[in-house]
Amino acid sequence: MKKRYIVLMHIIIWLLLFIVVNNFIIVLGELLNKPHSNLDIKTYIKTFSITMGFVIPFYTGYIVTSLYQRKIKKSILFMVVLAICIVMPIVLYLVAIGSLIRLIDNIVYMISFQAVFFIIGVSFRSLFGWIEQRKLNDKLKEENLRSELTLLRSQLNPHFLFNTLNNIDTLIGFDQAKASDALIKLSSIMRYMLYQNKTDKVPFTKELLYIENYIELEKLRFKNPAFLNFSINCVNRDILIQSMIFIPFIENAFKHSVDSDIENGIVIRFNCDNNKIIFSCKNVYSVDETDKDGVHGIGLSTVKRRLKLMYPDRHRLQITTSDNRFNVELEIDI
């Protein structure tokens, strides 16, 4: 359900409750020989105060449940509940009734009502959270099924395979040891994609090994060693991550880079801070060549969707272009 419909539903429900409370006050006043007019401003103030006495506990439970799911400190949540769900309704009750003595007489009755609406708010948020999680899981399964073949095709594209085999064939003639090492790396890449990539998460160290092998094979095409600047600064490499998150950005960097004679034509960095991975990939590209290539950026949209599904609210992706340089900054909270 779209958010605007949910908001509209909430507004309608509380308006109906406001009308019910207002009519109840008028009827009760007539029974007690204290008639109230539905046009009297005092009646509306009393109605509003009583209604807010229901609204505040409800949304306190609703919001606190959401914050609790995000692992906010429990002590802070307790103070928020105590301040909003108890103190505020007491103030509103005093405004509506105007008598401290009557408040004390009805304190148990009043707190019971607050507790009921607080529990209803918690229940609503929990129900919506469960529905959202079910939809997210279903969408993730569907996305994984649809993207599996796409990933296998894109992560080892025919151009890369053709160029690598051609480079290995050239190496065999004058450096058989280097050619053998390249074949081992290519075999490792294919094995990783066919077998390791079938699981939801993989050790970060294996993902890095896959990326390192890929980069080493791409470097066979370049005679200038200063063209690529690649570094890894990660102590903890045993964390689990979703596979094939970084490689599309790296593939695009090699695919669209030009002028391999320059320094730092491609800059790739991995930095790890506790359970956070910070990845950056920058490459120089030609606007004219990119415009000719209608497939520039293919795979990036898939990665964005996967990040939203697999790391919701736990990643930051920024893609920018400036001075013929394509910049990717990705931060993932594992």
Q: Do 125 and 161 reside in the same domain of the chain?
A: no
Domain boundary among 134, 168, 195: 134
Specify the number of domains making up the chain. 2
Report the CATH number that the domain containing residue 296 is assigned in CATH: 3.30.565.10
* Residue 271, in any domain of the structure: yes
* Residue 145, in any domain of the structure: no
What is the Cα–Cα distance from 155 to 244, expressed in whole angstroms? 8
Q: Do 127 and 175 reside in the same domain of the chain?
A: no
230 Cβ neighbours under 8 A, 6+ residues apart: 215, 266, 267, 268, 269
What is the Cα–Cα distance from 226 to 172, expressed in whole angstroms? 24
Q: What is the pLDDT along the chain (334 residues), one digit of tens a residue?
A: 567 777 787 788 888 888 887 777 776 666 656 655 555 677 777 777 777 777 777 777 777 776 665 655 555 656 666 666 666 666 666 665 555 555 555 666 666 666 777 777 777 777 777 777 777 777 776 666 455 545 544 555 677 788 888 888 888 888 888 889 999 998 888 888 777 656 668 889 999 999 999 999 988 888 888 899 999 998 878 888 888 889 889 988 988 887 788 888 999 999 988 788 999 999 998 766 555 444 444 467 778 877 887 888 899 999 998 888 899 999 999 8
**By three-state DSSP, how is residue 178 classified?**
helix
Domain boundary among 72, 100, 134: 134
Q: Do 316 and 181 reside in the same domain of the chain?
A: yes
Q: Do 175 and 244 reside in the same domain of the chain?
A: yes
* Residue 181, in any domain of the structure: yes
Q: Do 103 and 201 reside in the same domain of the chain?
A: no
End-to-end CA distance of the chain: 29
* Residue 144, in any domain of the structure: no
- Given the structure tokens 């910049």, which residue do they identify? 327
**235: containing domain:** 156-333
